[in-house]
Structure 1
Amino acid sequence: MSASGGSKAIVAALGANLAIAVAKFVAFAFSGSSSMLAEGVHSVADSGNQALLLLGGKRAKRAATDEHPFGYGRERYVYGFLVSIVLFSVGGLFALYEGYSKIRHPHELDHWYWPVGVLVFAICAEGYSFRTAVHESNELRGQQSWVQFIRRAKAPELPIVLLEDFGALIGLVLALFGVGLTLATGDGVWDGVGTVCIGTLLVVIAVVLGIETKSLLLGEGAGAADVAAIRSAIVDDDVVTGVIHMRTLYLGPEELLVAAKIAVQHDDSATEVARAIDAAEARIRVAVPIARVIYLEPDIQRTGPAAATA
Structure 2
Amino acid sequence: MAGSSKKVIFAALGGNLLIACTKFVAAVFTGSSAMFSEGVHSLVDTGNQILLLYGMRRAARPADAEYPFGYGKEVYFWSFVVAILIFAVGAGISLYEGIHHIIAPASISDPFVNYIVLALGMVFEGAAWFFAWTEFSRAKGKRGYLEAVRRGKDPTMFVVLFEDSAAMLGLLTAMAGIFFAEYTGLLWLDGVASVIIGCILGATAIWLAVETKGLLIGEAANRPVIDGIRELAADVPSIERVHEVLTMHMGPDFLLVNISVKFAPGTVAADMEAAIAGLDGRIKEAYPQARRIFVEAEGRAEAGP
Structure 2 residue aligned with 1:291: 290
Q: What does the per-residue CA deviation read over 1:41-71, in whole Å, with 9 as the maximum and x for residues that have no partner?
A: 1000000010000000000011111111100
CA contact (8 A) 1:235 1:242 kept: yes
SS at match of 1:119: helix
SS at match of 1:213: helix
> What is the CA–CA distance in structure 1 between the aligned matches of 2:103 and 2:146, rounded to whole Å?
38
Q: Which amino acid aligns with 1:119?
A: L
Question: Within 5 A, what are the aligned runs for 1:190-229?
Answer: 190-229=189-228
Structure 2 residue aligned with 1:139: 138
Change (3 A) 1:301 1:3: farther
Structure 1 residue aligned with 2:2: 2
Greater displacement, 259-268 / 121-130:
259-268
> What is the CA–CA distance in structure 2 between the aligned matches of 1:20 and 1:61, rounded to whole Å?
30
CA contact (8 A) 2:23 2:36 kept: yes
TM-score (norm 2): 0.97
SS at match of 1:242: strand
SS at match of 2:69: coil
Share of identical aligned residues, percent? 39
CA contact (8 A) 1:235 1:280 kept: no
Structure 2 residue aligned with 1:100: 99
Structure 1 residue aligned with 2:124: 125
1:189 aligns with 2:188: yes
Q: Which amino acid aligns with 2:174?
A: A
SS at match of 1:222: coil
Structure 2 residue aligned with 1:114: 113
Q: What does the per-residue CA deviation read over 1:3-46, in whole Å, with 9 as the maximum and x for residues that have no partner?
A: 35x11110010000000000001101110000111100100000
> What is the CA–CA distance in structure 1 between the aligned matches of 2:72 and 2:216, rounded to whole Å?
11
Q: Which amino acid aligns with 2:217?
A: L
> What is the CA–CA distance in structure 1 between the aligned matches of 2:143 and 2:267, rounded to whole Å?
44
Question: Within 5 A, what are the aligned runs for 1:210-289?
Answer: 210-289=209-288
Structure 2 residue aligned with 1:59: 58
Greater displacement, 84-93 / 225-234:
84-93
Q: Which amino acid aligns with 2:214?
A: S
1:91 aligns with 2:86: no
CA contact (8 A) 1:233 1:287 kept: no
CA contact (8 A) 2:79 2:155 kept: yes
Where do 5+ consecutive residues of structure 2 fail to align?
none
Q: Which amino acid aligns with 2:144?
A: S
Greater displacement, 278-287 / 85-94:
85-94
Aligned residues: 305
TM-score (norm 1): 0.95
Detail structure 1 runs of 4+ shifted over 3 Å in the superposition. none
> What is the CA–CA distance in structure 2 between the aligned matches of 1:289 and 1:221, rounded to whole Å?
16
